[in-house]
Structure 1
Amino acid sequence: MRPRVLMVGSAPEERGGIGTVTTLLLRHGSRHADIRMVVTHREGPAAMRLRLWLSGTARVAAALVRGQVDVVHAHVSERGSVVRKGLLVLLAKAFRVPVVLHCHGAEFADWYRGLPGAVRRGIAWTFRRADLLVVLGSSWRNRYVELLGVLGDRVVAFGNPIELPASVAKPAGLKVVFLGRFGDRKGSAAVLRAVAGLPVELVMAGDGEVAATRALARELGVPAEIRDWLSFEERDELLASAHVFVLPSRDEGLPMALLEAMGHGLVPVVSPVGSIGDVVQDGENGLLVPPADAAAIRQALASLLADDGMRARLAKAARSTVEPFAIESYLDELAARWRSLTG
């Protein structure tokens, strides 16, 4: 039986991991389920966001009233997203429709701990009403169970899905890539400081503090190519030509950019925060560095420069590690979960 899945969340074209995951599920999910997307959030003026949330919620309610939904699959991060999706959980449960909360928030735990006790209890109660929580790794699974009191069998670690390139072939040289939001949380300034004077090509792309990052590159004399947010096609073209992926973040879920880079055979030089440590093992399929530690990043890059054999071994292992995250396998498992909720 093909379940009728109502997917709810930010617009697929929005920048970031949630938009990418949503795009992949919509692009590939039709062989497993009848998926309909309702957008309840898009970046923009407050009045527009309010109208979109109200109209999206009304569309969800109408589908539930008409009996057109077997499963509600809602993407949630933190802050306002928790409020919006919490109301949808209660709405769906009023119609006895099972709910999957797909949890993406890299800052959820710190945000949640900073809330007043009564608010925390209300959020925890709402999350416990969901039939299944999909999280981004075993460390996040443990956090949600401990923080919210959700039963362990209702929380599953799925990672993030990716489209794997058919083959990987790299040009000569050493091209280092940073993909993400420029700023303190992702450690972009530390990347610039780390590569100063090293014989590598650095390309950085994303949103956030783009102008400040370009100014810092000029100040440090680093001839980095610093680009704005890339399209999927531009991203894949860049990763196909690169050798090392650097992301020394202070906190994360499980970055899509990391998995995509490993799928293209890049060696990850990353910090073991969030669920990154579930995927990258130091010296086995990448190199781990402390968050935003320019000296450690520099040492890691220097070791890859000095040892072509190690770089090739880590790149091959990185690619093998993320093969289970291929969208086809991911959807097989997710669709089985959808069906189990409707059976």
Structure 2
Amino acid sequence: MRVLMVGSAPEERGGMGTVTTLLLRHGAKVASMRMVVTHREGPAAMRLKLWLSGTLRVISALPRTDVVHAHVSERGSVIRKSVIVLLAKLFRVPVVLHCHGAEFVDWYRGLPGPARRAIAWAFRQADVLAVLGSSWRTTYLQLLGVRPERVVAFGNPIELPSPTDKPDGVKVVFLGRFGARKGSADVLNAVAGLPVSLVMAGDGEVAETRALAARLGVDADIRDWLTPAERDELLASAHVFVLPSRDEGLPMALLESMGHGLVPVVSPVGSIGEVVKDGENGLLVQPGDVAGIAAAVKSLLDDALRERLAKAARSTVEPFGIEPYMDQMVRTWRSVSG
């Protein structure tokens, strides 16, 4: 089976790049995989040139393709992938449109009516919409009018690490883009005064976050974006993962941290509430509720509670391992390619 993957460069920061990398690596064991990059971060002229050249490469590859697997988020990504969907249909090649956009709904609803109708029509041309959970499946069905049998909930895949012993103390970790959407300032305010160590890593408002930590007197280790090896080393030594986001799809950082046996303290947005159950395998807090975040983290100073939730968190994400995920994906590719 010949699969043409289309989207942002796999090395781009964020969950979509991580999923693309995993699909390419593990998909190569069961299919002939080819990647065409149509976007990467950079100056506008470079991005336009890459989109045009990438689209031409897609056109060239379509006659030798059984399935197109296109990754889409929001804004310009929707426009680029709508073009890919229509080109694939012109060549009678089935399309799996893999939807990652945490901000897609708000962006889509803010568009003029004609633009919304055009985008909904383009999405309905895809043979399958792969979404990040059952709540997102409901959202896409209601928002775009896609036929129910064409929307499949996939979650996100992870490579499960081997369990490791944790050091003494309580280390709290935040991974993601610094800023209001992920609630990074709320994390700093919540842990101020608590007897925990805090490591925050990501991109976005890094300097602003360091300045806030200094004003609050929080002794936080605030780092730039980590490599996968650095991320795994950090998670292996940590105990609690905090991400009080205002909107999300299904964060890769959440699944990866649970795989390393961290207790998630997260907000029930996007598909997070389908994975994390309050008091069972993590703790749920509301976005912006600094006092609630602080209380949740403080409760995890109790070793017995923390260890029970950590064990349950690891068990919860075992079905998200890349092997069962790829089995489901291959079945989907085959179902549309005949």
Q: Matched residues in 1 for 2:299 and 2:162: separation?
A: 28
Q: Matched residues in 2 for 1:277 and 1:153: separation?
A: 23
Q: Matched residues in 2 for 1:78 and 1:210: separation?
A: 24
Instruction: Identify the match of residue 57 of structure 2 among 43, 59, 67.
Output: 59
Instruction: Identify the match of residue 250 of structure 2 among 248, 254, 264.
Output: 254
Q: Matched residues in 2 for 1:32 and 1:256: separation?
A: 23
Q: Does 1:183 align with 2:186?
A: no
Q: Deviations over 1:84-112 (max 9, x none)?
A: 00011000000110000000000001111
Instruction: Identify the match of residue 312 of structure 1 among 289, 296, 307.
Output: 307
Q: Which amino acid aligns with 2:284?
A: L
Q: Which amino acid aligns with 2:9?
A: A
SS at the partner of 1:160? coil
Q: Deviations over 1:134-188 (max 9, x none)?
A: 0001110000000000011100110100010022321111000000000000000
Q: Which amino acid aligns with 2:178?
A: F
Q: Which amino acid aligns with 2:333?
A: W
Q: Which amino acid aligns with 1:29?
A: G
Q: Which amino acid aligns with 2:122?
A: T
Runs of at least 4 residues of structure 1 off by over 3 A? none
Which residue number corresponds to residue 4 of structure 2? 6
Q: Matched residues in 2 for 1:265 and 1:317: separation?
A: 8
Q: Matched residues in 2 for 1:320 and 1:292: separation?
A: 29
Q: Report if aligned partners of 1:32, 1:332 keep a CA contact under 8 Å in 2.
A: no
Which residue number corresponds to residue 42 of structure 2? 44
Give unpaired runs (5+ residues) of structure 2: none
Deviates more, 1:69-78 or 1:290-299: 290-299
Q: Does 1:168 align with 2:167?
A: no
Q: Which amino acid aligns with 1:159?
A: G
Q: Report if aligned partners of 1:206, 1:227 keep a CA contact under 8 Å in 2.
A: yes
Q: Does 1:117 align with 2:113?
A: yes
Q: Report if aligned partners of 2:178, 2:204 keep a CA contact under 8 Å in 1.
A: yes
Q: Matched residues in 1 for 2:104 and 2:164: separation?
A: 35
Which residue number corresponds to residue 151 of structure 2? 155
Which residue number corresponds to residue 200 of structure 2? 204
Instruction: Identify the match of residue 289 of structure 1 among 285, 288, 293.
Output: 285
SS at the partner of 1:31? coil
Q: Report if aligned partners of 2:2, 2:31 keep a CA contact under 8 Å in 1.
A: yes
Which residue number corresponds to residue 68 of structure 1? 64
Q: Matched residues in 2 for 1:263 and 1:157: separation?
A: 20
Which residue number corresponds to residue 141 of structure 1? 137
Q: Matched residues in 1 for 2:29 and 2:334: separation?
A: 13
Q: Matched residues in 1 for 2:292 and 2:110: separation?
A: 31
SS at the partner of 1:199? coil
Q: Does 1:321 align with 2:316?
A: yes
What RMSD, in angstroms, separates the aligned Cα atoms of the two structures? Answer: 0.6
SS at the partner of 2:37? strand
Which residue number corresponds to residue 233 of structure 2? 237
Q: Matched residues in 2 for 1:172 and 1:151: separation?
A: 52
Q: Matched residues in 2 for 1:284 and 1:254: separation?
A: 18
Q: Does 1:92 align with 2:88?
A: yes
Q: Structure 1 vs Structure 2: percent identity of aligned residues?
A: 78
Give unpaired runs (5+ residues) of structure 1: none
**Equivalent pairs, count:** 338
- TM-score, normalized by length of structure 1? 0.98
Alpha-carbon deviation of 1:292?
2.4
SS at the partner of 2:200? strand
Which residue number corresponds to residue 342 of structure 1? 337
- TM-score, normalized by length of structure 2? 0.99
Q: Matched residues in 1 for 2:84 and 2:11: separation?
A: 22
Which residue number corresponds to residue 125 of structure 2? 129
Q: Matched residues in 2 for 1:17 and 1:49: separation?
A: 20
Which residue number corresponds to residue 327 of structure 2? 332
Q: Matched residues in 2 for 1:298 and 1:73: separation?
A: 42
Q: Deviations over 1:184-221 (max 9, x none)?
A: 00000010001111100000000000000000000000
Alpha-carbon deviation of 1:342?
1.2
Alpha-carbon deviation of 1:269?
0.1
